[in-house]
């Protein structure tokens, strides 16, 4: 059984869910506490060196510098790879903005490195249905944003012969839906509330969504890609706020005959306003988008970026910058 995700809201020091990220009292995210709470493991130097040895390539800068800092069962995936067992990659994007911002690019840039280094297939899920359920958007608008976001993802340079990009509205059905129902039957409502924090005010669409994000972890969800390869392992590069989905998935997977998906998880790319949260499409002034012009970027940095400076010129001259937040 994966570690419990239930938290006492009064005692919770920071908020990290798939939909909200905020440090305690406006402070930084404490990743050590997050690792303890989620039950994942830190990536150490020996693991980085092992990746380099197996790929005969230098580790990606995001790995060397601790941007991707935690994992679940990465060692098992590498054990299998060393024995000649392949795996596949799974990552995704919830399309709620016209374009990707720098924070969105982090997992895709790293996934590109993993695909090239290990020469493995990749599935990319566009959760346009999730954004319809959580945002004030029409289905048509969510589908349009998924297509726009797909252009930015394709531009990252993935191997087109090994990459499958799909939107939920267009793909869900058949074997994929069968796996969704298998997962849904094995997660109680109380477990879903404990994992995701659903309340009585949330509509049933939200409660029913987690299996949709879970089942790309299972190769049988893609019979046109992995027919006869039901034992293929899955490695998921993602930001650590997506961990609740895959803790649920890892609990269910052995009960329906699949390997637990492995994860390699990143820090949050900070908002321009500071490290108390992450760049978010919900606040355009917190983020720099791939479609922003040089003028847009300059204006955002000058007006919204938090540099560690004091509240006034006089105070800044007296105290100088706060180097802890620069």
Q: Are residues 291 and 98 in contact, defined by beta-carbon separation less than 8 angstroms?
A: yes
Give, in order, the Cα–Cα distances in Å from 264 to each of 62, 67, 74, 194: 11, 10, 7, 23
User: Could you identify the residue written with the tokens 């191997």?
Assistant: 159
Residue 189 DSSP symbol: H
User: In angstroms, how far is CA 116 from the centroid of its own chain?
Assistant: 20
The CA distance from 129 to 239, in Å, is 20
- Phi, then psi, of 314 in degrees rounded to 5: -60, -45
Q: pLDDT tens digits, residue range 25-84?
A: 767 888 999 999 999 999 999 999 999 999 999 999 999 999 999 999 999 999 999 999
Q: What is the pLDDT of residue 319?
A: 77
Give, in order, the Cα–Cα distances in Å from 320 to each of 181, 248, 306, 315: 58, 47, 14, 8
Per the model's pLDDT, the better-predicted residue between 30 and 206 turns out to be 206
User: Average pLDDT, whole number, for the chain?
Assistant: 90
Q: What is the pLDDT of residue 23?
A: 79
Token pair listed for 94: 């919830």
- In which band, very low, low, confident or very high, does the pLDDT at 118 lie, cut at 50, 70 and 90? very high
Q: What is the pLDDT of residue 254?
A: 97
Average pLDDT over residues 90-107: 94
Q: 249-253 long-range contacts, Cβ below 8 Å, gap at least 24? A: 249/183, 249/214, 249/215, 249/217, 250/2, 250/72, 251/1, 251/2, 251/187, 252/182, 252/183, 252/186, 252/187, 252/214, 253/217, 253/218
The CA distance from 107 to 68, in Å, is 9
Token pair listed for 122: 């990749």
User: Could you identify the residue written with the tokens 């922003």?
Assistant: 292
Average pLDDT over residues 178-205: 96
**3-class SS of residue 86:** coil
Residue 197 DSSP symbol: -
Q: Are residues 55 and 260 in contact, defined by beta-carbon separation less than 8 angstroms?
A: no
Enclosing H/E stretch for 72? strand 68-72
| Torsion sign, CA atoms 218, 241, 123, 210 | positive
- In which band, very low, low, confident or very high, does the pLDDT at 183 lie, cut at 50, 70 and 90? very high
- In which band, very low, low, confident or very high, does the pLDDT at 287 lie, cut at 50, 70 and 90? confident
Average pLDDT over residues 85-110: 95
Q: pLDDT tens digits, residue range 133-148?
A: 999 999 999 999 999 9
């Amino acid at each position: 059984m994966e570690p419990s995700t239930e938290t006492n809201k009064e005692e919770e020091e920071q908020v990290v869910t798939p939909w909200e990220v905020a440090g305690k009292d406006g402070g930084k995210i404490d990743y050590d506490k997050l690792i303890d709470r989620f039950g994942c493991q830190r990536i150490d130097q020996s693991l980085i060196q092992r990746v380099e040895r197996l790929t005969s390539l230098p580790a990606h800068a995001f790995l060397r510098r601790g941007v991707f800092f935690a994992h679940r069962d990465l060692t098992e995936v590498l054990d299998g790879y060393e024995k000649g067992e392949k795996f596949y990659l799974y990552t995704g994007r919830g399309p709620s903005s016209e374009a990707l911002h720098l924070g969105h690019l982090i997992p895709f840039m790293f996934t590109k490195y993993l695909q090239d280094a290990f020469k493995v297939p990749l599935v990319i899920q566009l959760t346009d249905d999730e954004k319809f359920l959580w945002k004030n958007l029409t289905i048509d608008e969510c589908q349009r944003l998924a297509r726009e976001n797909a252009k930015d993802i394709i531009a990252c340079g993935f191997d087109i012969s090994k990459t499958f990009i799909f939107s939920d509205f267009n793909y869900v059905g058949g074997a994929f839906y069968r796996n969704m129902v298998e997962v849904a039957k094995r997660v109680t409502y109380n477990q879903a509330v404990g994992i995701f924090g659903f309340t009585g005010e949330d509509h049933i669409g939200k409660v029913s969504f987690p299996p949709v994000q879970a089942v790309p972890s299972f190769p049988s969800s893609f019979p046109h890609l992995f027919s006869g390869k039901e034992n293929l392992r899955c490695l998921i590069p993602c930001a650590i706020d997506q961990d609740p989905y895959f803790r649920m998935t890892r609990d269910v997977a052995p009960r329906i005959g699949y390997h637990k998906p492995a994860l390699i998880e990143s820090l949050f790319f900070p908002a321009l306003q500071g490290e108390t949260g992450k760049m978010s499409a919900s606040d355009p002034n917190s983020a720099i988008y791939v479609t922003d012009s040089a003028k847009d970027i300059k204006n955002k940095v000058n007006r919204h970026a938090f540099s560690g400076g004091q509240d006034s010129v006089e105070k800044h001259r007296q105290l100088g910058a706060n180097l802890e937040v620069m």
